[in-house]
Structure 1
Amino acid sequence: MELYFGKAIKTLGPSLVTGVGVVLEVTVIGFMGAIIIGFLVAIVKMSKNKVARWGMGVFVELIRGTPLLVQFFYIYYVLPLLMSNLLKAVEIDYNVQISSVMAGIVGFSVNYGCYMSEVIRSAIVSIDPGQREAGLALGFSEIQVLIKIILPPSFRNSVPVFGNYLVMMIKDTSLLACIAVSELLLRTQAYASQTFLTIEAYTLLAVVYLVISVPLSQGVKMLEKKMNKFSRS
């Protein structure tokens, strides 16, 4: 059996380079959104309001209890229909549409945000309560204590875990092909179906993912070692 990797690299390569841009766009924006949502969820779950804690707990369990792929489908296909019907109920005739890329960003932000919220909450709880009391004694408000005293070391301790989630998110972008996002997998599928260079196309796809994820994983490990040394010193 003769393989044509040179042809695949020459013809599919440029398309995959463009696909890498889509992957990075969705990953970066989705990751930033996940951190923000994770922080907000963690704060609500630590609040003194029992109703808010219960409601947020139910929401988190719903997200964690359903697959990410199902959430992508729901955001892309179902959510626009629900929003359009709600608008029609108040006599506003508007057809809501969500782009596939936006659906992917929202899905990543919400899904990973719910998982990262527990990391953030644990990091905040691990901070010595004496630091909070000292900040309040110095005249800082609760918000100032949270922002200036508690959050900096909390996020510093969470950086290695966040790095692992970032690597996972990059690999999970392959799921976006199911909602027509023109990322790496969808481009490879289209190319393989047109040229029948199945082995070459999917091997090249795997190599591209490795080129992205392996250096990033090594960087996360190096960062984790530096953080451990910093925490010990």
Structure 2
Amino acid sequence: MVTVASPIRAAVLERVPHGFFGRTGGVSTGLYAGLNVGLGSDDDDAAVRANRAAAVEAVAPGTCLLTPYQIHSARCVTVREPFAERPEADALVTDRTGLALGVVTADCAPVLLADVAANVVGAAHAGWKGALGGVTDATIAAMIALGAQAERIVAAVGPCIARTSYEVDDTFRRRFEDADRDNERFFADARGGHHRFDLEGYVVHRLATAGVTRVAALGLDTYPDDQRFFSYRRATHRGEPGYGRQIAIIAPAG
């Protein structure tokens, strides 16, 4: 039997089955030790699938877990039934009970959204490219197309790399300032020619700008805590040959 730690939950989503997972529990070993759910990793495929099954059972027992083939885009797909081949996208929405939506991350921001009255939910993977491109905007628009209302949508931003751990260069910063000069507030000066970027704060800003009035930012940094979370940047800095992924899951209320 695969064990998982209790998922991290957000109070704004308390009426909806959901959870953000780290690496605690699971059956993966070695470099991927813990609850690695990354189908694209070099981990044992059977272990990854067992970990994914255990995670969805901990959040929404008996549902079918669906995750996209993530490409760091702003593309959102509306799901009405299980799919055999994962669509290339970075967000999914649904209003169908029996389905659970998930996104995997390893420093990028997982965003879970719900309109309880419409029984519409969404899950988005917001790395910097997707966040800047508008993946949360696309998710909200797709939810509205299913009957949700922006002012009723609540959202939570799960574990992701924090400003203190996310150093970027001038070129990176200019991308955001070229899109909106006010984006300079999400950067803090670091060593010469470098800055620290607040991904979580930027994602919260994009959600609020799109009309979501209740957003929970969990404030959990994936980079420094190697016992609790996987981190792409940490693995890169350590020269490790691979890295695991954690998952965030949401499902319409039954």
TM-score (norm 1): 0.26
Look at both structures and tell me which one has the larger radius of gyration over its CA atoms. Answer: 1
Instruction: Identify the structure with the greater helix proportion.
Output: 1
Instruction: Identify the structure with the greater strand proportion.
Output: 2
TM-score (norm 2): 0.25
